[in-house]
Structure 1
Amino acid sequence: MRLTSFTDYGLRMLMRMASEPERAYSSAELADEFGLSRNHLAKIMQRLSRGGLIETRRGGGGGAVLAKSASEIGLGAVVRLLEEGQPLVECFAADGGDCSIDGQCRLKARLRSAEAAFLSDLDGSTLADIALKPARAA
């Protein structure tokens, strides 16, 4: 299975935020840390916010914080949210994609099963299981 970079960076952001959940993270800080444009990072944050995983605050002392405890955020749910609209293969697209062997293909069912197993495995873990360890003060 291959995740999009959108999901990869979304998971990294959540891992960082879970390392110090009481702290608000600015988009500039996270963009610098991950080498992303602030625009791309903002899109990821919007999706995470829409999914109820983070809250964003404006102004001084603002930034993004986890909306719930890291132990309440399942990895399968995160991947489903961030991969929304990104089918594993073309024939999984909402419109069925463009497949010349549709109706004869025996691969599709196996891929659906593999995708379900992948997500099911992730459902057994939470963000708390993969949170980064906080940096120690020097």
Structure 2
Amino acid sequence: MDAYEDLQQATLHDIPRSECLQLLGVARVGRIVFADDEGPVALPVNFRMDGESVLFRVSPASEMCLRLNEAKVSFQVDRLDDFHQTGWSVLVRGTSSYVESEDLPVLRSTRPLPWARGFRPVYVRVQPTQISGRRLVDD
């Protein structure tokens, strides 16, 4: 038996939907997963929650923007601790669509603000059909 096999392994537990929403509410960066001509791609975006939906901004000239209107997508957020080999992950599956200005949150402070420079006026919403999560804990 090698040293790797001697390590105490953590246990996976499902995270209830209500806790998944809490974790999504405090996170600010996640990955949007969509398909382009080459297949699935995952790209980081900063986001905010609007109720149970994910809201983020993109450039109208981006490949991502071209692929996200009425598309089946996934959105994932996680926090991992490499040293302790623990962490959690939340997955949102649903449909993405462009958001009209009248459908944005009233308070600008609750809207996502891109971290990277650039023109990103197009808001995209991921309306979930499924929200699930898993936590890896050291029992």
Q: TM-score, normalised by structure 1?
A: 0.27
Q: Greater strand share, 1 or 2?
A: 2
Q: Which structure is higher in helix share?
A: 1
